[in-house]
Chains A and B, each alone.
Chain A
Amino acid sequence: MIQRLFAGGLVAGFAAGLFSALLHFAFIQELILLGEKYETGELVHFEAGATTAQSEGHSEAAGTDESHEHDVGEASEDSALSRNAKTVLFTGLIYAGYGLLLVAGFAAAEQFGRKVGPREGVLWGIAGFVALQLAPAMGLAPELPGTAAADLDARQVWWLATVLATGGGIALLAYGRGVIGYVIAGALLAAPHVVGAPHLDQYFGVAPSELGAEFASRVLGVGLVSWAVLGWLCARAWNSGQS
């Protein structure tokens, strides 16, 4: 069983991650790079943006030296290549992690006599997307680089609590029995948003709000498709490994 879990979760998850990385470069990366131009002050959106533009540095956003344009061009090409390679690797890794969680869920469902085929797998994937991306995004919108936000620890705690509560709520909705189950599910789904995510009192964004909105929409769209593919691939791998 352990082999089946790992073969299904890791391999199918990593494959879904590679697909997600493809979508990342088609839809998201250009917005991250544009956001960083506002973050470093290379581009300025209205005068107000200029004062806070240098607030938070990123190692990737090194300054350029005009006099060595050619060398710098080559160097930045290299660093862009290595940066993108890391993005592909880590997108594969994170989806491998998601895949393991999903397949563990499939195995647990099977213990209760519920078989998860590829069709149900897609639904599981979409539920995973809601628990791990959509619900947290309702409190903490996906951040374009350069966005100032509340204390990181507080946000991570809220993120984790939201993921757990939403995941538990969806599982109860799907597999729970009786009215009490649905009431608890509703309470779990609502609780993180009643408590509310940690936010700053003011807005410090230096990038145009249109850019931030487009970024958040694309992140969620890419996430939905990637998770649906992840669920389908994991369920196929899980069932093909059945002895």
Chain B
Amino acid sequence: MNAMTQTAAKTGTALASIVFAALVGATVIFFAGHAQSATLHDAAHDMRHATGFPCH
């Protein structure tokens, strides 16, 4: 029983870590690729064109 609880807790932590990493990744992609603040847009401009993001 104890071992099962431990396995479940381990899977839960792993799932939380996976979701967290994916969310951070998606946030980075949003700010670098999609956010429309003028500073971000100008700085990321060439990269956005070169990776096919809808730029402006």
Contact = CB atoms under 8 A, between A and B. Distances in A.
B50 A219 contact: yes
A105 B52 CA distance: 23
Interface SS of A by simple majority = helix
Contacts, number: 124
Interface residues of B, number: 34
Interface of B: 11, 13-15, 17-22, 24-29, 32-34, 36, 42-47, 49-56
Contact of A108 (B18, B24, B33, B44): B18
Contact of B49 (A59, A94, A143): A143
Interface residues of A, number: 52
A223 B45 CA distance: 16
Contacts of A24: 46-47, 50
Contact of B14 (A107, A143, A145): A107
Contacts of B50: 24, 28-29, 32, 87, 91, 142, 219, 222
A103 interface: yes
Nearest to A8: B21
Nearest to A82: B43
